[in-house]
């Protein structure tokens, strides 16, 4: 190469000059320049700078280089509801964390900026909560005038619990119904209980209501925990086979009456003292024993109807159940030795008192055309 002055440059200088020319741009155009420098978010302030360990505190973070996709942690716990309002401001909601003063960190594209001691978690006081109180439990069938805590085999009755709680409304309490007999159907304060379909009656079904009050409080570090109060109340339902029980007592009464050797007290063993017909029936049995000896009898099977607070057809005798049996007796009058007979239907009324069935009255309805006799008078008076 020659310069305009006529000087000649050495080859090495020519190579260097060529390299400088390439660096400054040659015929191939400019080369790629350096990429943009990544921005790092920074945190300047947090407002408010304290909140509960239960989380849920809405905070505003001020700093720089915020953008969509930013993540926020408060003491290592990821914040929720993060919204970037500008490159220098964002809002978020704290999560739960143990008590203490912690840093707030903002992360974007893997780069983070933090502010130490930016937020303080404060543990709230533990919640004082009183246990619920079970006020009452009712268990009753749907039949008219059916007594409480009564059920026949296989019967479904409605069971209702009433509970109160100082801090919790009744609809937010949980009701748990359990028992060793039968089955509960449904949930909540009012359910159905189905009595067992079989069993030696009468028997007592032991049942239980547990009312549960669940509430949130904090542990020693201020973290939320769910706690519960459980209160229990037991109750019983007397399970019967009313038709069988009433019919059995009525048949036993008539069979014992038919045996003159059986003492009046034994004959009357299933009658309720003080019931409207008991005293008169006892006197009838005593008078029969004094005046007659029964030599023959026939007692047919009992037909029973149950109607609480109803009446039995013959002579409109009040009763909760009515038993009717065909009967006939042959007897000898002690004073004369004459034979007396009676045939017809004996109506025995029963009442339900003190969780059991009792007999209350007996009325004999003779067949038409029978000749009146003293024996018959004692049966029908």
pLDDT of residue 380: 63
Confidence check: pLDDT of 353 > 70: yes
Predicted pLDDT at 370 = 53
Q: What is the predicted pLDDT for the residue at 32?
A: 55
The pLDDT, as a whole number, for residue 367 is 86
pLDDT in tens, 181-211: 999 999 999 999 999 999 999 999 999 999 9
pTM: 0.73
Comparing 16-25, 47-56, 225-234, 292-301, which segment has the lowest mean pLDDT? 16-25
Residue 93 confidence (pLDDT) above 80:
yes
Over 50: is that where the pLDDT of 299 sits? yes
Band the pLDDT of 36: cuts 50, 70, 90.
low
- Domains belonging to the chain, first-starting first, are 42-122 (2.60.40.10), 133-240 (2.60.40.10), 242-380 (3.10.450.50)
pLDDT for 15 equals 33
For residue 218, the model assigns a pLDDT of 87
**What pLDDT, in 10s, does the model give residues 125-156?**
877 889 999 999 999 999 999 999 999 999 99
Q: Tokens 């704290």 correspond to what residue?
A: 94
What is the pLDDT confidence band of residue 38, given thresholds at 50, 70 and 90?
A: low
pLDDT at 127: 79
pLDDT digits (tens, 9 = 90+) for 204-262: 999 999 999 998 888 888 888 889 999 999 999 999 999 999 999 999 999 999 999 99
């Amino acid at each position: 190469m020659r310069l305009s002055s006529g000087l000649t440059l050495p080859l090495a200088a020519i190579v260097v000059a060529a390299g400088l020319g390439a660096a400054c741009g040659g015929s191939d155009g400019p080369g790629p320049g350096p990429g943009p420098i990544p921005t790092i978010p920074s945190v300047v302030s947090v407002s408010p700078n304290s909140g509960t360990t239960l989380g849920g505190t809405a905070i505003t973070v001020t700093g720089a280089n915020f953008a969509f996709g930013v993540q926020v942690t408060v003491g290592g716990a990821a914040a929720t509801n993060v919204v970037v309002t500008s490159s220098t401001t964002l809002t978020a909601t704290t999560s739960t964390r143990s008590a203490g003063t912690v840093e707030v960190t903002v992360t974007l594209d893997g780069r983070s900026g933090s502010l130490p001691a930016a937020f303080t978690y404060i543990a709230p006081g533990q919640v004082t909560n009183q246990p619920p109180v079970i006020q009452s439990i009712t268990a009753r069938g749907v039949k008219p005038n059916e007594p409480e805590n009564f059920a026949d085999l296989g019967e479904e009755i409605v069971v209702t619990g009433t509970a109160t709680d100082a801090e919790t409304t009744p609809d937010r309490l949980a009701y748990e119904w359990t028992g060793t007999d039968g089955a509960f159907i449904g949930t909540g304060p009012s359910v159905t209980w189905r009595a067992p379909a079989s069993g030696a009656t009468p028997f007592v079904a032991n049942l239980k209501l547990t009312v549960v009050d669940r509430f949130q409080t904090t542990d020693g570090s201020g973290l939320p925990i769910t706690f519960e109060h459980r209160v229990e109340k037991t109750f019983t339902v007397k399970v019967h086979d009313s038709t069988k029980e009433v019919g059995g007592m009525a048949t036993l009464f008539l069979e014992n009456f038919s045996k003159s050797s059986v003492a009046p007290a034994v004959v009357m063993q299933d009658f309720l003292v003080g019931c409207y017909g008991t005293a008169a029936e006892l006197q009838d049995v005593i008078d029969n024993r004094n005046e007659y000896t029964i030599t023959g009898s026939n007692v047919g099977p009992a037909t029973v109807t149950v109607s609480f607070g109803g009446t039995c057809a013959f002579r409109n005798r009040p009763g909760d159940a009515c038993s009717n049996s065909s009967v006939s007796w042959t007897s000898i009058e002690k004073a004369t030795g004459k034979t007396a007979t009676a045939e017809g239907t004996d109506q025995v009324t029963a009442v339900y008192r003190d969780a059991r069935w009792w007999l209350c009255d007996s009325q004999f309805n003779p067949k038409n055309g029978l000749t009146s006799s003293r024996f018959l008078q004692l049966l029908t008076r």
